[in-house]
Chains A and B, each alone.
Chain A
Amino acid sequence: MAIIYILWLRQIKRFFRSKARIIGSIGQPLLFLVALGFGMGPIFEKAGEGNYIYFLSPGIIVMTILFSSIFTGVDIIWDRQFGFLKETLVAPVSRFKIVLGRILGGATTSLLQGVIVLIITIPVGFRFDIAMLPLALLFMFLIAIFFTTLGTTIGSMLKDMQAFHLIMNFLVMPIFFLSGALFPIEHSVGVLEIITKLNPLAYGVDGVRGSLTSNFYFSAGTDLIVLFIASILILLLSSYIFSKIEA
């Protein structure tokens, strides 16, 4: 436990010491929230879909968690370049504990950023049921775990940051756009519908939005089960890949 804890703590310390990162992580969602919320809001309402801020806010919270989780996961590349990775790789500690400590730490910091954005949505006009907050936080945490692990898995396979843009454009952005974060997914058809249903983030968005606005597309149970199983699977994959790492 001490080992997982100290590696968790390391991620937390690194997060709080990087002021630019905190500001950046909150600036972008805020921009999205204001620009999209007030720009697209009237159209959304005219189409008879209701209050767009209510729809969008959970999506932006999830977006924050998605991006920060991927970033903190892929951070492992920097650890490799600065050499710190070696320090953990030669330690007499199971690689699973190392990777778990990292992931829990990274996921905690992205959950924190999600919570900050959640608070920011209130002055913008978002209202939610406080009693449902714990369930929403659980969903946010599961999203953070899944995507931090995904980032870590990708980061363990890459040797430098050059392939990172490729991953952002061809993996992370599609995951984001086809998750229902910005627009409803119930109108998607054909291939898009299949992709959406295979996208773990769609269940994350639904979970957070459903619990905050009591408007589920799937259901709380389905969302929980899918996210939980997906997280377990990616954790297994990640610890396998991490155990094969050479430096």
Chain B
Amino acid sequence: MIIEVKNLSKKFKSFTAVDDVSFSVEKKDIFAFLGPNGAGKTTTIKILTTLLKPSSGEIILDGCDPVKNGNKARYSFGIVFQDSSLDEELSAYENMELHAVLYRIPKKIRKERIEQLLKIVELWDRRREAVKKFSGGMKRRLEIARGLLHHPQILFLDEPTLGLDPQTRNHIWSYIKELNEKEDVTVFFTTHYLAEAEKYSSKIAIIDKGKIISQGSSRELMERTQTDSLEDAFIKITGEDIRKEDYSAVDRMRQRRKVFKH
């Protein structure tokens, strides 16, 4: 097991974001972590990636405890965040380069890989422009390219393909697949495109209101719910009612601003 989570909980004052969650991910899995908005996906990822401290529970990440030994754990993973984490004053290339240095990618590989990835996300021609001039989709693409720059043991992707067109999503997924197959990178991702989860994941966990309510492969989930797509299975498992955080762009922004203010 490359990721083991036991009885993980995270409380913010009176609100329990993650409630006694346990799951495990095997090496080389492509693990989809699904759930409606506000279910606790991002909080879980933040805890796994040392950005938040859990209230209780145990985590083992590639043989090491990220709570006690954050610095060591950080060597084993890479992450693409849900919201922006680029330096907007720097150019696309500079953002990539900074990341490469932070992750100690040797100079020789660095240049090659930056070029390859920027070409995949079709930003190579605009590599010298400041990121602040980029559109939302371009920033997203750059963010993903940057996250894929170093080839970690575990790759966390928090809604990586949100807002991207099918062509780009396809390119990105085939690169991720290749990483997974050739370099045995374990992938842990969240998404709202259930077709993506159905197509690429080897295992799925569904979380709702802070609790894991179902786990298995996508076929198992469909069999259990007697549905013929993961989307239907997902709705049957999590219920039909829409969550408080509606899924419009404006709400997303509001949500982000809320995050800023805390």
Note whether A and B form a binding pair: yes
Check A246/B81 contact, CB under 8 A, given A10-B90, A160-B261.
no
Q: Is the CB of B101 within 8 A of A247?
A: no
Q: Is the CB of A83 within 8 A of B75?
A: no
Q: Is the CB of B102 within 8 A of A94?
A: no
Number of interface residues of A (CB under 8 A): 28
Q: For residue A214, which residues in chain B have a CB less than 8 angstroms away from its CB?
A: none
Check A83/B84 contact, CB under 8 A, given A3-B102, A159-B261, A159-B262.
yes
Q: Which residue of B lies closest to A91 (CB)?
A: B102
The CA-CA distance from A3 to B105 in the complex, in Å, is 11
Within the complex, the shortest CB–CB distance from B83 to chain A, in Å, comes to 6
Q: Is the CB of B74 within 8 A of A91?
A: yes
Answer whether residue B260 sits at the interface, using C-beta atoms and an 8 A cutoff.
Answer: yes
Q: Which of B77, B94, B98 has the most CB of A within 10 A?
A: B98
Within the complex, the shortest CB–CB distance from B8 to chain A, in Å, comes to 16
Answer whether residue B85 sits at the interface, using C-beta atoms and an 8 A cutoff.
Answer: yes
Q: Is the CB of B85 within 8 A of A13?
A: no
CB within 8 Å of A: which B93-123 residues: 94, 97-99, 101-104
Answer whether residue B89 sits at the interface, using C-beta atoms and an 8 A cutoff.
Answer: yes
Check A6/B79 contact, CB under 8 A, given A17-B89, A89-B51, A94-B71.
no
Q: Is the CB of A86 within 8 A of B103?
A: no
Q: For residue A14, which residues in chain B have a CB less than 8 angstroms away from its CB?
A: 87, 89-90
The CA-CA distance from A84 to B99 in the complex, in Å, is 11
Answer whether residue B22 sits at the interface, using C-beta atoms and an 8 A cutoff.
Answer: no
Contact among B85, B88, B99, B261 for A86, CB-based, below 8 A: B85
Q: Is the CB of A91 within 8 A of B103?
A: yes
Answer whether residue B50 sits at the interface, using C-beta atoms and an 8 A cutoff.
Answer: yes
Check A83/B102 contact, CB under 8 A, given A159-B261, A246-B52, A247-B46.
no
Number of interface residues of B (CB under 8 A): 32
A-B pair count, CB < 8 Å, reads 78
Contact with B along A82-120 (1 / 0, CB 8 A): 111111111111100000000000000000000000000
Answer whether residue A169 sits at the interface, using C-beta atoms and an 8 A cutoff.
Answer: no
The CA-CA distance from A10 to B104 in the complex, in Å, is 17
Q: Is the CB of A84 within 8 A of B50?
A: no
Answer whether residue B186 sits at the interface, using C-beta atoms and an 8 A cutoff.
Answer: no
Q: Is the CB of B85 within 8 A of A84?
A: yes
Answer whether residue B86 sits at the interface, using C-beta atoms and an 8 A cutoff.
Answer: yes
Check A13/B51 contact, CB under 8 A, given A83-B83, A92-B74.
no
Q: Is the CB of B90 within 8 A of A87?
A: no
Q: For residue A91, which residues in chain B have a CB less than 8 angstroms away from its CB?
A: 74, 99, 102-103
Within the complex, the shortest CB–CB distance from B7 to chain A, in Å, comes to 21
Q: Is the CB of B101 within 8 A of A6?
A: yes
Contact with A along B129-145 (1 / 0, CB 8 A): 01000000000000000
Answer whether residue B44 sits at the interface, using C-beta atoms and an 8 A cutoff.
Answer: no
Answer whether residue A20 sits at the interface, using C-beta atoms and an 8 A cutoff.
Answer: no
Q: Is the CB of B75 within 8 A of A84?
A: no
Contact among A6, A10, A86, A92 for B81, CB-based, below 8 A: A86
Answer whether residue A81 sits at the interface, using C-beta atoms and an 8 A cutoff.
Answer: yes
The CA-CA distance from A125 to B81 in the complex, in Å, is 54
The CA-CA distance from A92 to B102 in the complex, in Å, is 7
Check A10/B101 contact, CB under 8 A, given A159-B262, A247-B51.
no
Q: Is the CB of A10 within 8 A of B87?
A: yes
Q: For residue A3, which residues in chain B have a CB less than 8 angstroms away from its CB?
A: 101-102
Q: Which of B71, B77, B89 has the most CB of A within 10 A?
A: B89
The CA-CA distance from A10 to B95 in the complex, in Å, is 10
Q: For residue A85, which residues in chain B have a CB less than 8 angstroms away from its CB?
A: 85
A–B complex contacts, Cβ < 8 Å, 21 sampled: A2-B101, A13-B94, A81-B260, A82-B84, A82-B87, A83-B81, A84-B87, A85-B85, A86-B51, A87-B85, A88-B102, A89-B50, A90-B49, A90-B50, A90-B79, A91-B74, A92-B102, A94-B71, A159-B260, A159-B262, A247-B52
Where the two chains meet, the residues of A that have a C-beta atom closer than 8 Å to any C-beta of B are 2-3, 6-7, 10, 13-14, 17-18, 79, 81-94, 159-160, 246-247
